[in-house]
Amino acid sequence: MTDILSTRHIPHPADVVFAAAHRIERFPEVLPDLDKVTVLSDDGAGAVTSRWQGTISVGPLTRRISWTEQDHWDEQARSCTFDLIEGDMKVYRGTWTFSPDGKGCLVELKVQFELGIPLLGPLVNRIVDQIIQQNCDALLEALDKLSA
């Protein structure tokens, strides 16, 4: 299992950045490896179930992956926890936090995952770990644009 940590200061108020992150269906606009996010249900009180589809390319190997996750958005705490319901990953869970920081917001994204795709060796798994880290970093960078 891999642990990913990505942090970024975004020069917008924490409430604005939190609201931008909550619009998960916009993430494919800013993440090239993410093809589609579909919100399946939203109870209006923070529980959101969504279906995600993406593509992982490692050299000549290209694999489409998909998963369903349950998010719990806490507006008061400006945080989100998410957990895998089903999909191509064996483990996928994490947390977002959005903390006021001077004239902006410090965003922290922690992700634990394990692909669970048979026949991937340690080298390919390390490359996938790098791709996931790059995607987390790119997502936080894109939140700056999505928050504007």
pLDDT at 120: 56
Nearest CA to 65 among 80, 86, 42? 86
How many Å apart are CA 15 and CA 76, to the nearest integer?
10
41 Cβ contact partners less than 8 Å away, ≥ 6 residues apart:
47, 48, 49
Looking at this protein, which amino acid is placed at residue 79?
A: S
The tens digit of pLDDT for each residue in 84-139 reads 999 988 899 999 999 999 889 999 999 998 876 655 556 566 777 888 888 889 89
Q: What residues make up the domain containing 113? A: 2-147
How many Å apart are CA 88 and CA 114, to the nearest integer?
9
- Count structural domains, the chain: 1
The tens digit of pLDDT for each residue in 40-77 reads 999 999 999 999 999 877 777 788 889 999 999 999 99
How many Å apart are CA 135 and CA 34, to the nearest integer?
9
Task: Report the b/e string of 87-120 with b at 16+ CB within 10 A.
Answer: bbbeebebebbbbeeeebbbbebbbebebeeeeb
pLDDT at 78: 96
- Average pLDDT value for residue range 10-16: 95
pLDDT at 27: 93
pLDDT at 122: 61
> Which is it for the CA torsion 7, 10, 13, 18, positive or negative?
negative
Report phi then psi at 52, rounded to 5: -115, 140
CATH for 90: 3.30.530.20
